[in-house]
């Protein structure tokens, strides 16, 4: 789905109350066409439990803790609007947000037309790679799967998912209801790689018994320990080793024993046309199976604090060119983790696409799509997500 972005206009001075640790953002949501207010729109900070609805006149007020956030505004029939900011940038103003009509709203007919046998097969693939297969994920329930359009025809060997409304996800083990606005989802059936992104709003289940609250609390701690959020907070605080992480540099160098793709394609074309080639078909197949790169791991742990610089606004910028091997030593992998080597540690690989990210105290980082995760962190999916305003009680 092609995404549209709206401009945000700021108008009308008003006073807000500011505490030492919190700021209030006040806004009004309007139709970009005629300026009429949009009532009861979802307004939340993505990946948190901090959110509200606009009132009957389109107004809202939201308390903001210290940190960097992405405000998300969603109303059916309009393009989802996002506004990224740091709490120090919020001023004593009324922020006027104008939403554009969404010309790509999916019709009920289009959604219904996809519910054939292939659709249900693709739904299982979507749930596996979006919700996950962990212990927590097995207890999760997608309440409204029928809003999904699952397309495996537009791009060969690729499953694309989209939805015209927020996915409603009940996570029984972690005690959250998640409203997830899916912006993109692509799963490559050729190499089993998945990429998805969106905006999640968490609501805690207020009906739990004391016994269930205790169980949920333990499950949340288990999900947190060794997670991406836990690791980023440890990096920010300079407590990587203290929190149980071991970090090493990993380089991927070209495999000199494997011909490049151009040469392999030439060999294949020679076979197809009957031209002479110095390789047998068996040798060609063996060469093609060789990995393009070879992993070279530095045995000495890294001190990531030496790779953090201060940004213009005082942010912490982590700069790194290669891959990070991250091992968490204080918890075993989830019992459902596919682990052919039977390792009793959580091992992950993090790749920096552009050589640096900005990290924040709450465990978030920016830009959000500049890190790729493999191994344990890459395996954990929506079923193990926690909001950025979650902190273990011991912290």
pLDDT tens across the length of the chain (395 residues): 333 333 333 222 223 333 345 789 999 999 999 999 999 999 999 999 999 999 999 999 999 887 778 999 999 889 999 998 887 888 888 999 999 988 655 444 455 545 788 899 999 999 999 999 999 999 999 999 999 999 999 999 999 999 988 999 999 999 999 999 999 999 998 888 899 999 999 999 989 999 999 999 999 999 999 999 999 999 999 999 999 999 999 998 998 989 888 988 998 888 888 888 888 888 888 988 998 889 899 999 999 999 999 877 678 999 998 899 999 999 999 999 998 778 888 999 999 999 999 998 889 998 888 999 999 999 999 999 999 999 997 54
Instruction: Assign 286 to helix, strand or coil.
Output: helix
pLDDT for res 108? 44
Q: Quick one: tokens of 49?
A: 């439990």
pLDDT of residue 23: 87
Give pLDDT, residue 387.
Answer: 96
CA dist 189 and 156 (Å) reads 9
Among 330, 378, 322, 299, which Cα is nearest to 234's? 330
The predicted pLDDT at position 191 comes to 83
Give me the pLDDT at residue 16, please: 31
Q: Is 184 exposed, middle or buried (0-12, 13-18, 19+ CB in 10 A)?
A: middle
Task: Write the DSSP assignment of 6-72 as a string of letters.
Answer: ---EEEEE------SSEEEEEEEEEETTT--B-TT-EEEETTBS-EEE--TTSEEEEEEESSEEEEE
What is the C-alpha to C-alpha distance for residues 152 and 352, in angstroms, rounded to an integer?
A: 29
Q: Are 166 and 179 in contact (CB under 8 A)?
A: yes
**Shortest CA distance to 16 belongs to which of 27, 31, 30?**
27
Check residue 394 and give its pLDDT: 58
Residue 18: per-residue pLDDT: 34
CA distance 323 to 364: 19
Per-residue model confidence (pLDDT) at position 186: 96
Using CA atoms in the order 87, 91, 94, 96, what is the torsion angle rounded to 10 degrees? -60
Q: Which residues touch 390 (CB under 8 Å, ≥6 apart)? A: 49, 220, 224, 229
Which parts of 54-155 fold into alpha helices (H)? 108-113, 117-130, 135-138
The architecture that CATH gives domain 9-99 is: Sandwich (2.60)
What is the spatial distance between Cα 29 and Cα 43, in angstroms, rounded to a whole number? 10
Could you give the dihedral angle defined by the CA atoms of residues 345, 350, 356 and 362, in that order, rounded to the nearest 10 degrees? -50
Q: Residue 105: what pLDDT?
A: 52
| Cα→Cα distances 35→4, 5, 94, 252, Å | 19, 17, 15, 54
pLDDT at 114: 54
């Amino acid at each position: 789905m092609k995404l549209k972005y709206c401009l945000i206009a700021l108008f009308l001075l008003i006073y807000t109350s500011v505490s030492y640790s919190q700021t209030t953002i006040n806004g009004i949501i309007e139709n970009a066409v005629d300026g009429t207010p949009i009532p009861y729109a979802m307004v939340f900070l993505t990946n948190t439990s901090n959110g509200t609805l606009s009132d009957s006149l389109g107004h809202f007020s939201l308390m903001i803790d210290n940190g960097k956030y992405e405000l998300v505004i969603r109303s059916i029939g309009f393009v989802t609007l996002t506004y990224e900011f740091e709490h120090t940038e919020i001023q004593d103003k009324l922020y006027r947000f104008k939403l554009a009509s969404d010309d790509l709203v999916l019709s009920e007919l289009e959604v219904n037309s996809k519910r054939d046998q292939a659709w249900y097969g693709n739904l299982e693939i979507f749930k596996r790679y979006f919700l996950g297969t962990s212990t927590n994920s097995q207890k999760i329930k997608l309440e409204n799967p029928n809003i999904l359009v699952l397309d495996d025809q537009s791009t060969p060997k690729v499953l694309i998912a989209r939805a015209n409304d927020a996915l409603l996800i009940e996570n029984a083990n972690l005690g959250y209801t998640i409203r997830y606005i899916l912006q993109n989802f692509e799963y490559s059936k050729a190499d089993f790689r998945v990429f998805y992104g969106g905006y999640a709003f968490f609501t805690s289940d207020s009906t739990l018994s004391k016994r269930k609250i205790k169980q949920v609390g333990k499950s949340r701690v288990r999900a947190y320990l060794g997670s991406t959020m836990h690791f980023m907070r440890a990096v920010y605080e300079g407590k990587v080793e203290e929190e149980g992480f071991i970090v090493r540099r990993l380089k991927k160098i070209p495999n000199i024993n494997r011909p490049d793709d151009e040469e392999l394609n030439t060999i294949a074309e020679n076979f197809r046309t009957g031209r002479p080639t110095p390789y047998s078909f068996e040798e060609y197949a063996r060469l093609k199976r060789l990995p393009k790169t070879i992993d070279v791991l530095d045995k000495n742990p890294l001190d990531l604090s030496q790779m953090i610089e201060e940004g213009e606004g005082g942010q912490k910028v982590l700069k790194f060119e290669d891959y990070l091997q991250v091992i968490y030593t204080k918890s075993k992998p989830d019992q459902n983790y596919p682990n052919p080597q039977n390792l009793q540690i959580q091992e992950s690989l993090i790749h920096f696409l552009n050589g640096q990210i900005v990290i924040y105290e709450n465990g978030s980082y920016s830009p959000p799509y500049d890190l790729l995760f493999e191994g344990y962190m890459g395996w954990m999916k929506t079923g193990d997500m926690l909001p950025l305003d979650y902190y273990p009680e011991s912290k």
